[in-house]
Amino acid sequence: MATSPGKYADFEGLRERAVALRRQGYSLRQIRDELQVHNKETLQRLVEGEPPPEWTKRPRAKDDLRERARELRKQGWTYNQIQAELGCSKSSVSLWVRDLPHPEPKCTPEEQRARMNAGLARLRAAQDEERQATKAAAAEAVGELSDRDLFIIGVALYWAEGTKDKPHARRETVEFVNSDPGMIAVFLAWLDLLEVGRERLNCRVMIHESADVEAAEHYWADIVGIDVTALGKTIRKKHNPTTVRKNTGDAYRGCLGIKVRQGADLYRRIEGAWYGIVGAVRPDDLSNRT
């Protein structure tokens, strides 16, 4: 039955029909089309007091999750625990349970700190294990070094850490100083490759006077493979009491300086080899020539 636009003289009759259709399970849109009532406000008045049919209600898929979240919160679960249990976002958990009281702590502050420290210790142990595994894999990947490998490594090592000739200070000498025994060992192996005998080496310890000088001298002599009496005079650095040094303790052994006697020709070979390395990667770079 059509009605004239804007006029619903028989409102009660329309309402009676609308209520009947509503009770039959009609949606508002279906009632609108059936009665040709297109005014939204009038349509709402026609079905006032009548609940919509179940099939028109929007499903709420998270209702079960919400109820479960509230149950868990009442049991004392934290937001993170609920999130992990239900697989939902933390913001949803907060929205669902924020009206509930905070759960009472299940342990004392001291116990909480102990748990936190234990967790941090486990995390650091796992990180350290991963770190060591990475280092071990990298070390294994190096494998054996060829003579060419060791030669290039030694040249690069010396050019990074050794004494170099300068245009303003000509000194074609081979001098290498370092506190890392591994660096010293590689440098010595490189000298062996170049057939530079130990008798050509002048080695001496450089260390703070407050350290165990004698122990350091024996340590470095063993690294080089010489008697401690073959070391040159140790350079003792005066200790400044106002300076806070971190290189202290039993592990501190100062530095070892190694100078090759009659090393001018060797120095020129090192410098030339370094130019060759640079030229291999940057053929146009002549800036490092001295």
Residue 266 lies in a domain: yes
204: β partners: 257
Regarding whether 162 and 86 lie in a shared domain, the answer is: no
- Across 2-33, b (16+ Cβ under 10 Å) vs e yields ebeeeebeeeeebbebbbebbeeebebeebbe
| Same domain, yes or no: 175 and 76 | no
Q: Are residues 235 and 167 in the same domain?
A: yes
For the stretch 173-176, contacts whose Cβ atoms lie closer than 8 Å and that sit 24 or more positions apart, written own/partner, are 173/259, 173/260, 173/263, 173/264, 173/267, 174/259, 174/260, 174/263, 174/266, 174/267, 174/270, 175/257, 175/258, 175/259, 175/260, 176/257, 176/258, 176/259
Q: Are residues 219 and 158 in the same domain?
A: yes
51, 163: one domain: no
Residue 176: predicted pLDDT: 96
Considering the domain architecture, whether residues 194 and 264 belong to the same structural domain is answered as: yes
- In the numeric block, the tokens 């990475």 are attached to 134
Beta-carbon count within 10 A of 96 CB: 20
Query: Distances from the Cα of 197 to the Cαs of 6, 120, 140, 219, 266, in angstroms?
Result: 114, 51, 30, 20, 13
pLDDT of residue 57: 62
Report yes or no on 114 lying in a domain: no
Q: In which element (H, E) is residue 188 found?
A: helix 181-193
**Strand 255-260 to 235-237 pairing:** unpaired
Domain-located, residue 222: yes
Task: Specify if 245 maps to a domain.
Answer: yes
Torsion of CA 129, 135, 136, 138, to 10 degrees: 140
Asked whether residue 154 falls in the same domain as residue 275, the answer is: yes
Helix (H) or strand (E) holding 237: strand 235-237
In this structure, the answer to whether residues 231 and 193 fall within a common structural domain is yes
Give domain status of residue 226, yes or no.
Answer: yes
CA 266 to CA 251: how far, in whole Å?
A: 33
Same domain membership, residue 187 and residue 224? yes
Do 272 and 151 lie in a common domain? yes
Residue 120: inside a domain: no
DSSP track, 98-148: TTSPPPPPSS-HHHHHHHHHHHHHHHHHHHHHHHHHHHHHHHHHH-PPPHH
The total domain count for the chain is 3
Averages of pLDDT over each 10 residues, the chain, 290 residues: 52 89 87 88 88 68 82 89 86 89 79 84 91 94 94 96 84 93 96 94 92 93 93 87 67 93 94 93 65
Domain span holding position 89: 63-97
Tell me which H or E stretch contains 176: strand 174-178
Q: Contact, 243 vs 183, CB < 8 A? A: no
